[in-house]
Amino acid sequence: MSYVASRLSAVKPSASMAASQAAKALRAKGVDVIDLGLGEPDFPTPLHIIDAAHFAAKAGQTLYTAAAGTAEVREAVAGKFRRENGLDYTPDDIVVANGAKQIIFNALMATLETGDEAILPAPYFVSYPEMVKLLGGTPVVVECPETTGFRLTPALLEKAITPRTKWLFLNMPGNPSGAVYSQSDLKALGAVLAKHPQVLVLSDEIYEHILFDGREFVSFGKACPELKDRTLIVNGVSKSYAMTGWRVGYAAGPAPLVKAMSTIQSQSCTSVCSIAQAATVAALNGPQDEVARFRQAFEARRNLVVDGIRKINGLTLSPPEGAFYAYIGCASLIGRKTPKGVVLEDDAAVANYLLNEGRVASVPGVAYGLSPYFRISTATSEEVLTEAISRINAAVAQVE
């Protein structure tokens, strides 16, 4: 007897969580492994946010809330979009969910008919194709090579669009590449989309505050206001405010789409935790100096990792422009042998070798749709990163 519905047959568990679990399993056996698999800030949530949560709980904000989120949190999100992105949304255009992941899931569930296509520029966030498949859609993967800065170009986009295209996913800064789109890059994509009115745009901007080298963030909504009625801007507090465990994401978009997403939410989880919503209001409306401090720390770590990896013979790394990952090229290791005589056939074998012999957990590029690479998270201390680079160096040096 099968317990599992056929819609799950093609869906894989999250590769980054799997890498992290493999590291934990080795640790449980007493092996000293550095886990650079999962990407989450290693800082504590700023204290004023935790205080706001305490206060909300003590003040009795402990009941179900409106499915789309409390009036306060949707007002705070509208304020954030106005202040930081120059975008005008009313609370009716906003929905809050249990993380950006649930926002994306709800958006796809609300819109996809069986066989509808979602264009996923690769490398992409591991959950995008799995969610699309789970909800009956077809992922259309468009490889965006390092030579285009891992960015989707207008020509690649034009080629990928069909009459069945329902969504274009954009993610900036990108996980895993760190790629950022400029205003003119986005306008050029917008010009292609203008010719295809059936295509909606999901712009995942969850890493917007983690930008390097003085870059300014431009939201897709700001660059292409003419596409507002088919754009869903996705964001959340996980990465900017070190709040991954609080599970709050949000989106702004056309009111009918947002309403459909709230309906799904009302029938699946009722609402986001009332206390986490109160914490989100404090995060968005409160002092932002910790966000700037986190950004600086991430930039220093990015610099350390770029310097260290570029010294390793056999690996390549274009400096990430944002987020907290390094997407490391390992083409010159493919086809070569480990000291145990195992041929490194692909990047999954490289990540496996680095885990078992180098004692560093990473995620292979195959999980992101663009090989041969592996991703490490740089959201850990400089000491740990330095040790990890030295282990990767030692392991790579032994490949024959």
Q: Which residues bind ligand PLP (CB under 6 A)?
A: 39, 99-101, 125, 171, 175, 204, 206, 236, 238, 244, 249
Residue 41 CB, shortest distance to ligand PLP, in Å, is 11
The answer to whether 338 touches 399, Cβ cutoff 8 Å, is yes
Contacts of 323 (CB under 8 A, 6+ apart): 39, 173, 174, 175, 176, 178, 207, 210, 239
320-351 burial code (b ≥16 CB/10 A, e <16): bbbbbbbbbbbeebeeeebeeeeebebbbbbb
Residue 344 CB, shortest distance to ligand PLP, in Å, is 27
Q: CB 5: neighbour CB atoms within 10 A?
A: 8
Q: Which is nearer to ligand PLP, 189 or 395 (CB)?
A: 189
Residue type, 16: S
What residues pair up with 236 in beta bridges, in sequence order? 249
What residues pair up with 363 in beta bridges, in sequence order? 375
Q: Which is nearer to ligand PLP, 110 or 242 (CB)?
A: 242
Q: CB 92: neighbour CB atoms within 10 A?
A: 13
Residue 125 CB, shortest distance to ligand PLP, in Å, is 4
Residue 235 CB, shortest distance to ligand PLP, in Å, is 8
Closest CA to 320 of 184, 174, 182, 159: 174
203-223 burial code (b ≥16 CB/10 A, e <16): bbbbbbbbbbeeeebbbbbeb
Q: Which is nearer to ligand PLP, 186 or 399 (CB)?
A: 186
Q: Which is nearer to ligand PLP, 33 or 251 (CB)?
A: 251
**Assigned token pair, 224:** 């292409």
Q: Which is nearer to ligand PLP, 130 or 358 (CB)?
A: 130
Q: Which is nearer to ligand PLP, 247 or 391 (CB)?
A: 247
- When computed from its CA atoms, the radius of gyration of the chain, rounded to whole angstroms, is 21
Q: Which is nearer to ligand PLP, 165 or 244 (CB)?
A: 244
Residue 303 CB, shortest distance to ligand PLP, in Å, is 21
Residue 39 CB, shortest distance to ligand PLP, in Å, is 5
Residue 317 CB, shortest distance to ligand PLP, in Å, is 19
The answer to whether 210 touches 298, Cβ cutoff 8 Å, is yes
Residue 96 CB, shortest distance to ligand PLP, in Å, is 11
Q: Which is nearer to ligand PLP, 99 or 369 (CB)?
A: 99
Which residue's CB comes closest to ligand PLP? 99
